[in-house]
Every structure is written in structure tokens, then in C-alpha cells.
Amino acid sequence: MDASDSDADGDRVELLNDLRILAEQAIRSPDGPLTDTASDAVSRLYDRYKSRVYSFCLRRVRFSLPPGCLVEDFVTDLFFRFVRSAGSLVLQNVHSFSDVERQILASFHQHAMWQLRELIRQHKAVSKLVDEMLQDVARRKGMHRPASAERSPNMARLEQALAELDERARDVLLTSYQHLDQAGEFKLPEHVRTALCERCNFKNGNALVKFRSRKIEELRALLVHVA
């Protein structure tokens, strides 16, 4: 056995030991604070894989992330997820260091896929909820609203954000959200669209659509805090 084999074997033993510690922690106290031993194991695992996981996320995940999500946060979440589920990690072959590493990377890959799927689903759900609230505000435009104490804090924040928009953007959003159909598409009647274009000085419907999309994204980004 030469020196490199010996190093690899040492790494393998250390890695397996760290995984065992994390598995025990995940099973015994998944929500509780880490023990010192588990903290050390997490730090070693993180240092060992941080750049490779980051590289993977840049290559394979970055372009699929919902707007406002950062790769850096995704990487941290991925490690969090991996550590939390260490108790369910089953290694098939632990005879060589490269085999162990390959299985760990495959596990990171699997978690990344689940995490991304969940993130996209959540982002859609939140966007949809914001849409529904905007629709609700638009429908009540000009109508009596309950006193602020009776309104939910979220609705109050939304209305505050709307109030901070310029008049033109507010008009476009509130008018458009009065005509949002079940499929989430804006179906403005011709006369409404024409009047809105004239009122807000848009040359054509396309300009209106682009402006509206931009403003909706801005508003969502302002309201939906997606890490």
C-alpha cells in the first residue's frame, strides 16, 4: 500500500465516521441543536464538498431556479437537506473511497432534484397567492374596505406596496387583475384594453403586456421573499 492509498483509506474511514455521526444526530434529534461532535462532522463534510456541490449547482441548477433565488442559498439548503436526511442514506459499497464519494455525490444530486422541484412548486404557489390577493384588491377597487385592523397584515402590505407604485402602474395592474381568468391569463375585453392603452399612453397592446409583466415581476419580487 503506497502513501496515496493510505491517505484515501484514512479519508474513507473519516468520511464514513462523519456520516455515522450525522445519521445518529438525524435520527436521535433532527430538530435539536447539533452536538459538538456532529458540528465537527458537518464542518468536515461541508469543507470536503462545498466547492463540488457549488460547481454542480452552477452547472445544472442555476438556470432553473425561480426568479429571486440565489445559487449560494440553494447550496446551503442542499447541505442542510443532506445533513437532515443523513439517517436515511444507505451506502451500497464502502470498500473504496471513490465508491463512497460517488454515492454521496449521487445523494446530493438526488436531493438537488427534489429541492429544485419543491422550490419551483412553492414559488408558483406563492406567486399564485399573490395573484389572488391582487385580484381581490382589484375587484374591490373603489369599494368599501374593512378597517385596517380587520385586514390581514399581508393584505395591508400588498396594498401598501400598491400605493407606492406610480399611478400608471397601479392603474394597469388593478385594471388587468379585474380580468384575470381561471387559467391565470389576462383576458381584457377589447374596449377595456383600448381605454387602458389610451389612458396610460401605450402605443399598442404589446407595450401594455410588456409593461404589465415587468410591473408584476417587480411587485412579486418586492412581496415574495424567496431565499
Partner 1 sequence: MASSEIPKRFGAERTGSSPEGDLSKFDVRDFDDAGLDLPASLETPDRLLARLNNGGRKSDDVPQSNPGAALFPHVAFTGQFGVGKTTASSLWSIVVRAYADVRSDRSIDYVVAEPEANLLFLQRCWELGAPASPSQLNWLLMNARKNGKLADLSPAKRFSIAKEELDSFAFAADMAMRSVQDRLYFDEQRDASIDQILCDPHLVKEFDTFAAELAPGHSRFEYRWAAIALRKARRSANRSIQLSRFEARGSLEDVRASSMPTSGGIYWIQAGNSSLFTGVASNLRRQLGALVDQLGFNVAPRWVRDQPDAKPELRLWCEANFETAEIVRAGLLKRAGSRLNFRHGFFFGAAA
> How far is 221 from 209, CA to CA, in rounded Å?
18
Q: Which residues contact 226 (CB under 8 A, 6 or more apart)?
A: 66, 67, 68, 69, 119, 122, 123, 126
Query: C-beta of 70: minimal distance to partner 1 in Å?
Result: 9
Residues forming beta bridges with residue 186, ordered by sequence position: 180
What string marks each residue from 71 to 90 as x (binds partner 1 by CB under 8 A) or -? xx--xxx-xxx-xxx-----
Choices 4-12, 87-95, 99-107, 196-204; region in contact with partner 1 by CB under 8 A = 99-107
Please, which residue, 106 or 195, has the CB nearer to partner 1?
106
Residues forming beta bridges with residue 111, ordered by sequence position: none
Longest dimension (CA), the chain: 83
Q: What does the block give as the cell for 169? A: 402602474
Query: C-beta of 21: minimal distance to partner 1 in Å?
Result: 13
Choices 152-160, 168-176, 198-206, 208-216; region in contact with partner 1 by CB under 8 A = 152-160
- Contacts (CB under 8 A) with partner 1, residues 173-212: 182
Please, which residue, 130 or 196, has the CB nearer to partner 1?
130
Please state the separation of Cα 20 from the chain's center in Å.
30
- Contacts (CB under 8 A) with partner 1, residues 110-129: 110-123, 125-126, 129
